[in-house]
Amino acid sequence: MRALVIGGARSGKSRVAEDLALKTAAREGLPLVYVATAEALDDEMRERIARHRQSRDPNFQTVEEPLEVAAWLLAPSRPQVVLVDCLSLLMSNWLGKGMDEVARARELLYALQATLQSWIVVSNEVGMGIVPGDPFSRRYRDALGRLHQDIAAEAERVYLTVAGIPLDVKAWQAEV
């Protein structure tokens, strides 16, 4: 299983991705790993992360990896179902640390292509709103949008989540 679960803020994408990971792990008889990219840089984010951890199914092993998801994916390990939540925070982390987001995205894409793991990647759709008013925000939106397109091309399934309802957009893909 290789899937991208994308949607707006509070659209239910993490819950959809967790359900998909649990079903995939049960079907394939594999353990679950939750790769969390959030960093607790303030009190509100610490509380948000704590709520996320508490609501997560206990079958997930959690790995905190705010920057090096590609390296983690390529490290030798046993077969498992990997849920990466989320790309939008990962991109923010890279940019916030002054890293080359194009090179980092290329590394992540290579890791997703090369790994033998089943993967489910979660991200926020940031390209459906207005054009951001400042260069940094436009750079973020553009880099994340390109990464979404590249990962969607590699994924077997792409789910757009709206109000907690996943829509399989690859199944509805039009011929052009």
Instruction: Produce one character per residue of 15-34: b if its CB has 16 or more CB atoms within 10 Å, e if not.
Output: ebbbebbbebbeeeebebbb
- Strand 165-168 versus strand 60-64 pairing type: unpaired
What lies within 8 Å, CB to CB, of 95 at 6+ separation is 101, 136, 139, 140, 143
Please indicate whether residue 148 is annotated as part of the active site: no
Q: Where are the alpha helices (DSSP H) in the chain?
A: 13-28, 43-55, 69-74, 87-96, 101-114, 135-154
What is the helix (H) or strand (E) element at residue 7, kind and residue range?
strand 2-7
β-sheet with 32-36: strand ranges across: 60-64, 32-36, 81-85, 118-124, 2-7, 157-162, 165-168
One of 52, 141, 146, 170 is an active-site residue; which one? 52
For residue 43, what are its two tokens?
């009190």
Q: Please give the positions annotated as active site.
A: 52
